[in-house]
Amino acid sequence: MITVLSGGTGTPKLLQGIIRLIDPANMTVVVNTLENSYFSGVYVAADLDTVMYTLSGIINEETWYGIAGDTFITHETLKEIGCGELLKIGDQDRAIKIQKTLLLEKNPLSKAVDIQRRKLGIKSRIIPMSDQESQINIITDQGSLEFHQFLIEQKSEPEVLDLNYSSVEPAPGLVDSIEKSDMVIIGPSNPITSVGPILSLEGVRDALKKSYVVAISPIIGNKPVSGPAGKFMNALGHEVSPAGVATVYQDFLDKFYIDLEDDIHQEKIEKLITEVVVTNTNMNNIEDKVMLARSILGEIL
Ligand code: GDP
C-alpha cells in the first residue's frame, strides 16, 4: 500500500509511471484542494480532476488539465452570449464538473470524488485534502490576489511578497492512509501551494514523521519545470533549488530524489536528509516516468 501526495502537473506525470508497475488498487492519492472554486456555475477542482483524468487515461497531456480531444462548443457559446468565461473548460470536462457540482449539493467533496472515480473506472482511492473550502491570499506588488486571479488573470506575472491560506480539517481517512502505507511519496508538485496545504493539515506532519517518506524535487536547477513554485518559494524565504525544497520537507523526509543536473547540491542536502538519490527526474515521456517510478518503488516492488 502506498500513498502519494499530489498537486496537478508533476505528480500526475509520475502517477502514469507508478500505475504501470503496481496494482492501482494498492495506491491512495491525496490531492491539493487549495485552488478549488466555482467558475461559470460549476465547481472546479483542478488538481483533483487532473489526477482523475490521469488515472483513467483521458488527461490532456499538453495542458495537464481537461480531457484529451475535448470540444469547446459550450465554452464558445457562453462567450458569444456574453458570459465571460475565465477558464476554458471543454464540453466533456464540463459534464464531469457539472456532475461534481450536483453531487456536492448532497455530499461532501470526498464522497463526490469517490463516486466519480468509480464511475471513471479508477481503482486507486483519491482523497481530496479537505472537505472544507480553503481561502488563499497571495500578497503581490499589485495587491492581494486569489489563486486564479494571480495564475490566470495576471498570468503569474506580479511579484509575490507573501502568501497565506486558511486552515482546514483533513478529509476522512487521509491521516490513516499515510500511517498505514509502506511508503508515502511526495511527488514533484509545488511545495508551497500544492504540497504545503496538505502538510499543514492537523496530524499530517506527525503521521509523516512515523512513516517512510520519499519526495521528488519539482525544482531542477534554479527553477521549476513549470508553474509559479519559484515565486512562492522565494516569497517565503526558501532558496529556489532542490536544497530549498529539502528545507521544506526536512523534518519528516527519509529519501529525496534530485535531478542529475543538480548533483552539486547533493552534499548540502545530505546534511538535511539521510538519503539523496541523483537521477533523471525530467519526465518527458512514458519511459522517463516508468524509470523514475521504478527507482522510487524499488524496495516495495
Ligand atoms: P503549480 O506550481 O501550481 O503548477 O502546481 P503543481 O503542484 O501542479 O506543480 C507543478 C510542479 O511540478 C512544478 O513545480 C514543476 O516544476 C513540477 N514538474 C512538472 N513536470 C515535472 C517533471 O517532469 N519533473 C520534475 N521533477 N518536476 C516537474
In a domain, residue 51? The reply is: yes
In a domain, residue 298? The reply is: no
In a domain, residue 175? The reply is: no
Domain that holds residue 99: 36-128
Q: State the closest ligand 1 atom to the C-alpha of 35, by its place in the atom list counted from 1.
A: 3
Task: Say what the pTM is.
Answer: 0.97
pLDDT for 243-298, tens place per residue? Answer: 999 999 999 999 999 999 999 999 999 999 999 999 999 999 999 999 999 999 99
100: domain CATH number is 1.10.8.240
In a domain, residue 164? The reply is: no
Determine the residue of 61, 145, 225, 288 to mutate for testing ligand 1's pocket, defined as the one with the most ligand atoms within 8 A of the Cβ atom: 225
For the chain, the average pLDDT equals: 96
How far apart are the C-alpha atoms of 121 and 55, rounded to whole Å? 9
Would you say the CB of residue 215 lies under 6 angstroms from ligand 1?
Answer: no
In a domain, residue 54? The reply is: yes
pLDDT for 76-108, tens place per residue? Answer: 999 999 998 889 999 999 999 999 999 999 999
Taking the mean position of all CA atoms in its chain, how far away is CA 142?
A: 26
In a domain, residue 69? The reply is: yes
d(CA 50, ligand 1 centre) in Å = 13
| Selection from 84, 24, 88 nearest residue 60 by Cα | 88
Number of domains the chain is built from: 1
In a domain, residue 117? The reply is: yes
* Residue 301 binned pLDDT confidence (cut-offs 50, 70, 90): confident
